[in-house]
């Protein structure tokens, strides 16, 4: 390979201010030289969720320091960097603008290439930092704002085969944590308290489990958790409900993954080992990891999770997406702006709203 590229990545799409320096390896994976993530948990905790204006202000206050820290930790100066990649969507526009504008300005002053990155593509490519994976592969992206099954056919070439018709999986964890008063952020606290509970104590609904292909629906589950929470009188019952909720999510994800794998097999004829990658914040959940590993073995897929530091929002995945796009000369247009909505598969139907038929 010619010179190994080193990119600076910047991520400010929601409540994490992140910067990272990533260098290509010659085997197609990457070396993360620094991965700095400043979480705003404290700022949003009292509101039980992300407040966009507070998040944007925290990004403005932190971003210079976080970028400098990422450069220092990697032992690189800005003039050693070959290109800059920043998240341009989807996300909160006031937040995206902070990282995007500073990235663009740094690139302009340093006369370096600048790449606008889709946050969802960052997640989708994140397992490739540590693993050699070739296209096509099946993706389950489960985060706070998105839940979808995709066939990653190539860079910039994604087919969405399933999505949530209401709440995202991370959102369901966050809402359940709020209902049960387990603390913020919701996903990790539900996982922690679920360990103290019995997972078969409550029977919760499995919405659209036998219809709608590999689409998901979680709003009914959350409503039932809310209803059942009203009769809770002890901490043990609370942990039991958290455990039952997590178990129900597992059942839904396992069944829908099985369907997605069948769809992948129908669409892609391949004799080589098939890969299934699970990405996004929820991919950090141990019980979900174990269950998805089991179904992958049954369905003959190699199941790959990023290390936990690359599951939640981070800028290493953005730098890495930038390097790969730069190599393939996949630049967004010059007059690019940040966007709140930016589907990876622009032909996928928008499956939300009343009157939806599955
Ligand atoms: O990918 P991410 O950091 O941000 C978005 O792009 O949304 O995902 C955040 C989501 C949150 O909803 C959070 O509660 C969930 O991922 N999450 C988890 C766990 N860790 C984070 N959900 C379940 N179990 C976890 N251990
Ligand atoms: Zn994310």
pLDDT tens-digit readout, 107-154:
999 999 999 999 999 999 999 999 999 999 999 999 999 999 999 999
225-245 average pLDDT score: 98
- DSSP structural state of residue 113: -
Ligand 2 centroid–CA 14 distance in Å is 8
Q: What is the three-class DSSP state of 216?
A: strand
Which has the minimum average pLDDT: 30-44, 69-83, 143-157, 200-214?
30-44
Pair of tokens at residue 142: 């489960």
Environment of ion ligand 2 (residues, CB < 5 A): 143, 313
Summarize pLDDT for 268-293 with one digit per residue, the tens. 987 788 999 999 999 999 999 999 99
- DSSP structural state of residue 256: H
Pair of tokens at residue 213: 């292909």
Q: Which residues line ligand 1 (CB under 6 A)?
A: 14, 143-145, 170-171, 173-174, 185-188, 191, 280-282, 284-285, 312-313
Ligand 2 centroid–CA 30 distance in Å is 20
Q: What is the dihedral of CA 329, 332, 334, 339, to 10 degrees?
A: -160
Ligand 1 centroid–CA 310 distance in Å is 11
Residue 2 confidence (pLDDT) above 80: no
27-30 CB contacts, 8 Å cutoff, 24+ apart: 27/132, 28/128, 28/132, 29/128, 29/129, 29/130, 29/131, 29/132, 30/128, 30/129, 30/316, 30/320, 30/323
| CB crowding 280-290: b at 16 or more within 10 Å, else e | bbbbbbebbbe
> Which domains, ranges and CATH numbers included, belong to the chain?
6-130+309-327 (3.30.420.40), 137-305 (3.30.420.40)
Whether the predicted model's global pTM rises above the 0.85 cut: yes
């Amino acid at each position: 390979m010619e010179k190994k590229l080193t990119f600076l990545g910047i991520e400010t799409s929601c409540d994490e201010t992140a910067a990272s320096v990533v260098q290509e390896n010659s085997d197609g994976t990457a070396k993360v030289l620094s991965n700095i993530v400043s979480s705003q948990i404290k700022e949003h905790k009292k509101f039980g969720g992300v407040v966009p204006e507070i998040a944007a202000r925290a990004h403005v206050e932190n971003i210079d320091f976080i970028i400098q820290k990422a450069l220092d930790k990697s032992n690189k100066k800005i003039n050693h960097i070959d290109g800059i990649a920043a998240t341009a969507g989807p996300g909160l526009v006031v937040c995206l603008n902070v990282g995007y504008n500073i990235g663009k300005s740094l690139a302009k002053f340093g006369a370096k290439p600048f790449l606008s990155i889709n946050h969802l593509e960052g997640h989708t490519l994140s397992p490739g930092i540590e693993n050699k994976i070739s296209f096509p592969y099946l993706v389950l992206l489960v985060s706070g704002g998105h839940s979808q099954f995709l066939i990653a056919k190539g860079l910039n070439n994604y087919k969405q085969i399933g999505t949530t018709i209401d709440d995202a999986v991370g959102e369901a964890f966050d809402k359940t944590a709020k209902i049960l008063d387990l603390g913020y952020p919701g996903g990790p606290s539900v996982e922690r308290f679920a360990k103290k509970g019995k997972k078969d104590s409550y029977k919760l609904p499995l919405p659209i489990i036998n219809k709608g292909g590999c689409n998901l629906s979680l709003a009914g589950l959350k409503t039932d958790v809310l209803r059942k929470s009203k009769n809770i009188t002890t901490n043990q019952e609370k942990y039991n409900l958290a455990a039952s909720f997590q178990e129900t999510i597992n059942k839904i994800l396992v069944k829908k993954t099985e369907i997605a794998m069948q769809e992948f097999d129908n669409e892609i004829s391949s004799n080589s080992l098939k890969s299934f990658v699970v990405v996004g914040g929820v991919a950090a959940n141990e019980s979900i990891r174990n269950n998805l590993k089991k179904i992958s073995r049954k369905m003959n897929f190699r199941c790959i999770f990023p290390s936990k530091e690359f599951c939640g929002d981070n800028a290493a995945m953005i730098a890495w997406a930038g390097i790969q796009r730069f190599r393939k000369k996949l630049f967004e247009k010059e007059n690019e702006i940040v966007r709140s909505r930016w589907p990876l598969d622009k032909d996928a139907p928008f499956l939300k709203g009343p009157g939806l038929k599955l």
